[in-house]
Structure 1
């Protein structure tokens, strides 16, 4: 028996447990949309494909499942590219299904085809950042390609894949047996672990060390290994520092949590990393910002510090630092073995009350230094107060999404995360425009949890059409727009090094300018509030959360830099030898 490919695609996705597809229509994919009309799968309609990709990204992170994006040929595919690349650099599993030009028009340059260098080559656009890109040349090959696509996206180091489908193939009929055959293939692969001998060796190295430290990245969240991490570090009282993507792997109020390292990390955390004699690194790629541009006097002094590195991706082991012991393994599986062997070989564990007291004293001192900013009643508000009051209002399991700038850097440094996966942020690609749509995806994935997006006015302004989707679907996300009338972080950088803010601040007729985002929200049918004083903010946020509907809060914020004692080599490019960082920018 034969059926159209589009219909069988939808049945295949249903059988895989896919419940949502994010995307936008075009003449190349409407056969799939028509097949979705009577499906259990919800098609989430957007106004721009970048929104679809970021929504799918947030959904995959929150639900811990592969997300699916459906887009159109040419401009649809390129519009989605930024969001897909962001997911790729943060190792988020995603399957992008894109309509393509009709196969019988190859070589004729049909409508919206990109063929400046080769015919029917749209899929090549994604090759630099997806794990693999397929062009489906025959309808009978589509079921097998689809199965391979999901398997590749989900396994090893997760990430997006592209399946580019000529529109005529969606409408062709193939034997249902070709899709049925895929059901017999396993949907879950067993992941690599470590043996007991390796686990014993790691434990011996840590026990022999005078200043051991555990350093964790986003791989802990991807592997769902937070509980295993907590068990291991508590058994030996090991301090834990983390990357931006690793925030929340161990709760910020845990006595062994140091905080974020690198450029926006505190000096205490960077010093603990630099002075460690043995580091066990789990699920991290040692990125530039987290490692102070890899310069040894700031964050990590490897190989003086001996490094044990466990990661699912062998390409990351030894990429940025020489590794004494490199292990390719799933960190959840590795920690499971480490915990079992630790209880066997060191049943009494190890305690270090002096260490925990040092960490507690550092945290208390940080809070004391930050207190004047939190208590500042001036308006526009201090960003520290905004973050503090958001944390006070939200439940511990609330999900926060950020964009880039103060909201991302400040959240990484100052905002308490109480659970793994509660902070969703664009790490590797640092994409402006991620936070607002990612929050929609997270809320769809976790409808019973509060989701708040902390974004700047520059980031929210990238794609305000998220509000249309929120209104249509009644997705109860709260957007807090930290509005400093500028691309604030870059403005502070340019001002510090070049004495100007040209091209970085928003002005009209020489005066500060900002759209009224609350009014824009209302125009979309979403409730919006423009804050007029610091005292208004917290009650407005409480009301927004209680409303349980889409809600925009536009709050003005002074443009001050995120405080840092770390280092980023770009400062030396701008101003060699001057130790200049960001500065405040007055309106």
Structure 2
């Protein structure tokens, strides 16, 4: 039950709550076996104790015999050559759920490649493997590879592949297959094979191929890496024939591994950038909107340089770590300023129409523009350079006045230089005055956020604001990295100081449930060697799709603090159902049917312990939160994953 005072606030005095928030945020926020009978001496033989039975079901003697030796031994395999190709590419890891259709490559990675570059990541589900790749690529700046079993493994992987596609993230996806029908064994090899496996995913991969020779594989693997990592980035897929992996190499000297030369990201046209520079310098109230702009650590300082030159407002859609959260020009939580803008520059914005429109879906769906009539809208990015028709991830068409095709991060230095050349003393004075107004508004926004965070401070369930404030209080002096949050959980961006490129890595892209836990683990893997403290806050419904991720975290000793935002519901859908019932005048008392996770409640800490991960909870009392966080953070800093199950309010 909530502990509320008469004014609707919670227990502790207002001053103490505000002081806490100020301190927490303002500084830089049984194995199955048959029992063995007692040993009995046999006449003529010394007494011997039988060996303990191994775990698992007892097998007949014939089933425990090693498989018969192949009639012909071999000293090399196609898989060996594939590993040699991988070692020329910048691929550190190969995520997989083991299967027979890629046993040749699997064995070669271990024994020919020494299980290094790539190193195998054992995943209990293909969706986990791909989502780990998605989170890893956004933090490491390079892809990892994953491989799945035939069409059935690929079907498991597709949700994560679609999220990565929508998020424009490179993942090297491979699938085992048996191309020739006369080579498939009876049984599973038939329903698990396909003529064209990639047909299942072709609408949400950037490129695919099915090599029929080792030389073909070498060239396609290099091409796949290059295509995946060239903006706009996206997953690619290679279907690998089992015989190609397993058979001996006929003539190794005839095979050649092509050199990988990465493409330079395309810059926007200089003339168009010059026209944009004139528009920005002449504008009275320019606004920059950014989304998936920062590809590398260079992206954020480049955007800061442009914004500070103009002293203009920046709105971050949080698709990447684009702009410091505490910067005076960051106006992400003052979107009303779009109504005052005379020039709007959108940098790698995924859904521009959605950003520039107020949309309503109650009774009759309707929308109104947020920007004023006559405002000039300019886009700079690669979003429109590669689209497909079926899946509608590209959003509604938005009219613009100037569309510059080019990678925004790569184009910013040229744009900023042209802006600087156009700024005279009179414009500089106007810019400085504008910047001071924006800075004052930013300070007011921060103070408002700290005040809002005190509401319900001592309530149970625990407020999301208190969780985020308590967490930041304990990690703010560490080299932390937040790599995932629940749906629409904006408190960290309101309260914390995101000041470095690795502080944040964006959301799922496609909104597919099951992203946060494995993608956070992939990002934690990228952070591991850098000694960063990786944290994530994920929804309970999202967790239930991929709980096996925790075993991978424990097995590979990947340090990650994962907090389950346990509101015991698919709460977004719960609210939608309430709205629909109210719309029809039928009451909202039954909206819990099909939308909540109760009867019984789920004990996520116990689940974590079962997978070998430190778990604590469910935590209901807000006074228990800080000590639990401290214990979990200590565990993560020792190199282990940890999970806290926190019973929280809805959002």
Same fold by TM-score greater than 0.5: yes
What is the match of residue 157 of structure 1? 232
Say whether 1:457 aligns with 2:540: yes
Aligned to 1:82: 159
Supply the distance in 2 between the matched residues of 1:323 and 1:331 (Cα, whole angstroms). Answer: 17
User: Against the structure 1 CA distance between its residues 179 and 320, is the aligned structure 2 distance closer, same or farther, given a 3 Å change threshold?
Assistant: farther
Distance 1:151 1:541 in 2: 42
Match of 2:209 in 1: 134
Q: Which of 327, 330, 341 matches 1:254? A: 327
Paired with 1:540 and 1:179, the residues of 2 have a C-alpha distance of 57
Q: Which range moves more in the overlay, 287-296 or 141-150?
A: 287-296
Distance 1:368 1:181, change over 3 A: closer
Between the aligned partners of 2:183 and 2:354, the Cα distance in structure 1 is 45
Match of 2:282 in 1: 208
Residue in 1 aligned with 2:404?
A: 327
Does residue 262 of structure 2 align to residue 188 of structure 1?
Answer: yes
Q: Which runs of 5+ in 1 are unaligned?
A: 260-265, 563-587
Residue 503 of structure 1 and its aligned partner are, at CA, apart by 0.5
Q: Which residue of 1 aligns with 2:308?
A: 234
The CA deviation at 1:218 is 1.0
* Cα pair distance change 1:412/1:88, threshold 3 Å: farther
1: CA distance, partners of 2:369 / 2:306: 24
Identify which of structures 1 and 2 has the higher relative contact order when contacts are C-alpha pairs closer than 8 Å and 6+ apart: 2
Cα distance in 1 for residues equivalent to 2:448 and 2:279? 32
State which of 175, 189, 197 in structure 2 corresponds to 1:122. Answer: 197
**Correspondence for 1:281 among 327, 340, 346:** 346
Residues 298-313 of structure 1 aligned to structure 2 (within 5 Å): 300-301=370-371, 304-313=374-383
For 2:355 and 2:417, the matched residues in 1 are separated by 31
Is the partner of 2:305 in helix, strand or coil?
Answer: helix
Question: 8 Å contact 2:486–2:537 — kept in the other structure?
Answer: no
Tell me the CA shift for residue 174 of structure 1: 5.3
The CA deviation string for residues 411-441 of structure 1, in whole angstroms up to 9 with x for no partner, is 5666553333422343431122111111211
In structure 2, C-alpha distance between the alignment counterparts of 1:10 and 1:111, rounded to whole Å: 27
Q: Tell me, yes or no, if the aligned pair for 1:6 and 1:170 is still in contact at 8 Å.
A: yes
Instruction: Name the CA distance, whole Å, in 2 between partners of 1:141 and 1:297.
Output: 51
Return closer, same or farther for 1:473/1:119 CA change in 2, 3 Å cut-off. Answer: closer
Q: Is the 8 A contact 2:292 2:350 kept in 1?
A: no
More deviation in 188-197 or 237-246? 188-197
Q: Distance in 2 between matches of 1:357 and 1:60?
A: 34
- Distance 1:177-1:280 versus aligned 2 partners, 3 A rule: farther
Q: Which residue of 1 aligns with 2:484?
A: 402
Could you tell me which residue of structure 2 aligns to residue 521 of structure 1?
Answer: 608
| Separation of aligned partners in 2, 1:449 and 1:288 | 36
Aligned counterpart in structure 1 of residue 384 of structure 2, from 307, 310, 314 = 314
- Of 461, 466, 477, the residue aligned with 2:560 is 477
Could you say which residue in structure 1 is the equivalent of 2:464? 383
Q: 1:555 to 1:80 in 2, by over 3 A?
A: same
**Alpha-carbon offset, residue 291 of structure 1:** 4.4
Structure 1 position 40 matched with structure 2 position 127: no
Task: Specify whether residues 342 and 156 from structure 1 end up closer, same or farther in structure 2 by C-alpha distance, changes over 3 A only.
Answer: same
| 1:416-565 aligned within 5 A | 416-447=497-528, 448-498=531-581, 499=588, 500-508=591-599, 513-530=600-617, 531-547=619-635, 548=637, 549-559=640-650, 562=651
Contact in 1 for aligned 2:567/2:648 (Cα 8 Å): yes
Distance in 1 separating the partners of 2:597 and 2:77 = 52
Shift in CA distance, 96/177, structure 1 to aligned 2, threshold 3 Å: farther
**Does 1:8 find its partner at 2:81?**
yes
Whether contact under 8 Å (1:106, 1:120) holds in the other structure is: no
The CA distance in 2 between the partners of 1:298 and 1:273, in whole Å, is 13
Structure 1 residues 405 and 190, CA gap change in structure 2 (3 angstroms): closer
Structure 1's 114 and 13: CA in aligned 2 closer, same or farther, altered over 3 A?
same
Distance 2:266 2:411 in 1: 8
Provide the C-alpha distance between the structure 2 equivalents of 1:483 and 1:353, rounded to a whole number of angstroms. Answer: 41
Distance 1:369-1:80 versus aligned 2 partners, 3 A rule: same
TM-score with structure 2 setting the length = 0.77
1:245 to 299, 303, 319: 319
Query: What RMSD in Å do the two structures reach over aligned CA positions?
Result: 2.7
Q: Give the direction of change, closer, same or farther, for the CA distance of 1:364–1:19 in structure 2 (3 Å limit).
A: closer
Counterparts of 1:63 and 1:101 in 2: how far apart (Å)?
33
Q: Equivalent residue for 2:69?
A: none
Deviation, 1:195, is: 4.8
> Do the aligned partners of residues 467 and 288 (structure 1) sit closer, same or farther apart at CA in structure 2, a change above 3 Å counting?
farther
